[in-house]
Structure 1
Amino acid sequence: MVDPGQLLLLIIASGASFIMAWTIGAGSSGSTPFAPAVGARAISVMRAGFIVGILGFAGAVLQGANVADAVGTGLVGGISLTASAATILLLLAAGLVVIGIFTGYPIATAFTVTGAVIGVGLALGGTPVWPAYIEIATLWVLIPFVGGGIAYLTARLLRNENIPERYSIPVLGGIVGLILANIPFTLLGSAPSGASIAATIATRIPVAPTIGTVVVSFLFALFLTILLRWDLNSDVEAAQQHFLLALGGLVAFSAGGSQVGLAVGPLLAAFNDASLSITIPLITLLVFGGIGLLAGSWMGAPRMIKAIAQDYSSLGPRRSIAALIPSFAIAQTAVLFGIPVSFNEVIVSAVVGSGFVVGGAGMSTQKMLYTVLAWLGSLVLAIGLGYGTMWLVQVVF
């Protein structure tokens, strides 16, 4: 029998988790995936918000397990987050993200949630998990250089007059196909994090699993390459739009998979508290968080989509494609290793990288500086507020 007070806290924590999922859907995962496509005028703002919500929900359910587990149990050692701790940190993080939404600056959600979890966990007497912090910080630092660098090189390739688009775009499509064939899905395989399409099909081929995975991956990439080449032969401009929208969809799906864990990870830890008799399957929490992402995307994403698509750079189809390919790859890397990342940082870095191909034209240096300061400030502020608030609650109650 669950204590009524504990049950009330769990209900409040669930509400805080839903609010966090809503703000993520309205902010990072809901706005950033289709922002380059909107900037390239491939899709309207409202239609982008509608589609990204559906794809984000699918990604949350099919790919959200790794990051949720890492956020809930992997950031602070020696303790488990309680329902009260989960409520406090989620409300703090959501509050900071809401400030970002209404001021028009893309606050890094991963920074705020990670900082709040660490601050609250340390206040509860937990110990720092330095290997995890180093891994997370390394990826965060590398994102602007790797994502921006790949976006820059891809944009250069697409703008190279010596390499026709009927060759360059199908090759890029093949690379995307290789990644897509090897990303994990929760419903495939027996492992908690799932298995990839290539690995699953390979088990049904009478060859060694490694060889089968390579063969399936190659065939998947070849199929997308041929499909894009056929589309380009019909209409180059339409084919660019189709590829751009497909990439936006993949990034939106990846956003759901990587971002839902920020909302339901603390809640997962709270429900796993040994003092409680309630057990909630992870898939149920992922669906719950996915619904929050969906609602946020439909209700609040258009404002941030406009901010990122228009305020940072006026993108064409080529630069938009160049921005989305590394964003998709980085997001899936984070999902694979269970590392919380901010989609604002991923997309903005790629947008800036692709923009340098034309000398950074159309970009606001002041806007970028404020954005970076907002990212760093949100991390420091979340740690401080999380620690201070949790310490005060323990003293008073």
Structure 2
Amino acid sequence: MAVVTVATLGVAGAASLFMAWSIGAGSSGSTPFAPAVGANAISVMRAGLIVGVLGLMGAILQGANVTEAVGTELIGGVTLTAGAAIVALLTAAALVAIGVFAGYPIATAFTVTGAVVGVGLAMGGDPAWPKYSEILTLWVLTPFVGGGVAYVVARGLIGEKIPQRPLTAALAGVVGAIVANVGFALLGPAGEQASLSEAVAPGLGVGEIGTPLVTVAFASIVALAVYADLGRDREGAQRRFLLAMGGLVAFSAGGSQVGLAIGPLVPIFSDVGVPLWALLVGGGAGLLVGSWTGAPRMIKAISQDYASMGPRRSISALIPSFAIAQTAVAFGIPVSFNEIIVSAIVGAGYAAGDAGVSRAKMGYTVFAWIASLVGSLGLGFGVYTAVQFVL
């Protein structure tokens, strides 16, 4: 029995690593720096290398919330077994891998969520309607909020009504405020996360206003630094701001997407004493390898096929992408980075009057998103039912 158990855990771990590779190659590895590549701010290969490292860091420091949600909150009444986890992960990974090699960004969160719910229902579990409501709300709002904000910001940056230098600095300040309130595992007590503002505020001795004060101070420092940089070298400063945003989105991708790869393993590996941080490290390593070996193909597809992007529109796309990603991480909601980035790119592209936005490519992508959710749910349910019938 012990040998069978070890073998089963090994197969489940291998399925999880395959899923992590697929995500690194297709979602977390390709989308964060795609706008920067499209703006010629960084090469495809260098983007793949950098995003892999940042994704690994994000997985370790921020991955717990989404991981636990995917592993324990998507189905009620039952606990995922090793066999169920294997079926869910292999089903989702196969669909994502097909998207990678076909050049279409399959929504990873859709496939994993659908597969986990499918096998959970096949096990006799109950639908977790409150969690589904949270997830669907974010999924539906993402294209409109992300694309809408990207459109508005891009219109401001490429227009002449508002001076670009103070506007860009103000946008950098907003990003700084978000960073100051992002949760990190290293700053919180054991098993919890805390933000930079929460960690620093108690030392100021000013009570409840400490956290807002730290947030405003950090945002002001970032805004002033970008404002000064723009005064010295406008084009260089825009490129550096763009690359910084790509890095933040890549970090956020690791914190969000690692849960899709290792979440189904949480119930079975926790029973044998494997700590969550070990799963996060392993999943993050899988994302890194996927980013280094498979992401360049999808980076090219997203950076060139959906819209023609310059530095200012790329910045416009990454700001709402970062905000939405961190919202999802904070609430433990699995979210598709392909949906986030593609929607924002299209919104920023339309700000220049439909500059290079491919309607046909967008239509195929939306169809792929819907099909991946429905297909993974049906396949997860059907494959697990068939396996149980045979065994």
Tell me the TM-score range normalised by the shorter chain: over 0.9
CA shift for structure 1 position 3 = 2.3
Whether the 8 Å CA contact 2:270–2:276 is kept in 1: the answer is: no
**Paired residue for 1:366?**
360
CA shift for structure 1 position 166 = 1.3
1:313 match: secondary structure: coil
Q: Structure 2 matches for 1:351-390, cutoff 5 A?
A: 351-390=345-384
Aligned residue pair count? 391
2:231 to 215, 230, 233: 233
Q: Structure 2 matches for 1:70-89, cutoff 5 A?
A: 70-89=69-88
1:248 to 231, 246, 249: 246
Extract unaligned runs of 5+ from structure 2: none
**Paired residue for 1:158?**
157
2:203 match: secondary structure: coil
1:161 match: secondary structure: coil
CA shift for structure 1 position 35 = 0.2
For the residues of structure 2 that align with 1:83 and 1:213, how far apart are their CA atoms? 43
For the residues of structure 2 that align with 1:201 and 1:114, how far apart are their CA atoms? 36
Q: Structure 2 matches for 1:1-397, cutoff 5 A?
A: 3-190=2-189, 192-208=191-207, 210-273=208-271, 278-397=272-391
Extract unaligned runs of 5+ from structure 1: none
1:231 match: secondary structure: helix
For the residues of structure 2 that align with 1:187 and 1:136, how far apart are their CA atoms? 27
* Residues 153-162 or 344-353, more deviating: 153-162
CA shift for structure 1 position 162 = 2.6
For the residues of structure 2 that align with 1:309 and 1:122, how far apart are their CA atoms? 38
2:69 match: secondary structure: helix
The AA in structure 2 aligned to 1:159 is: I
For the residues of structure 2 that align with 1:375 and 1:313, how far apart are their CA atoms? 19
CA deviation string 1:201-235 (max 9, x = no partner) = 11222121x31111111110011011001101101
The AA in structure 2 aligned to 1:287 is: V
CA deviation string 1:57-112 (max 9, x = no partner) = 00000000000000000000011111111111101100000000000000000000
For the residues of structure 1 that align with 2:355 and 2:180, how far apart are their CA atoms? 36
CA shift for structure 1 position 191 = 5.9
Whether the 8 Å CA contact 2:155–2:352 is kept in 1: the answer is: no
C-alpha RMSD over aligned residues:
0.9
For the residues of structure 1 that align with 2:240 and 2:192, how far apart are their CA atoms? 30
The AA in structure 2 aligned to 1:212 is: G
CA deviation string 1:359-388 (max 9, x = no partner) = 222121111111000000010010101001
CA deviation string 1:13-53 (max 9, x = no partner) = 00000010011000000000000000000000000000000
For the residues of structure 1 that align with 2:13 and 2:96, how far apart are their CA atoms? 18
Whether the 8 Å CA contact 1:36–1:315 is kept in 2: the answer is: yes
The AA in structure 2 aligned to 1:73 is: T
Sequence identity, in percent?
A: 63
The AA in structure 1 aligned to 2:202 is: T
The AA in structure 2 aligned to 1:315 is: M
CA shift for structure 1 position 6 = 1.7
Whether the 8 Å CA contact 2:350–2:357 is kept in 1: the answer is: no
Whether the 8 Å CA contact 1:93–1:112 is kept in 2: the answer is: yes
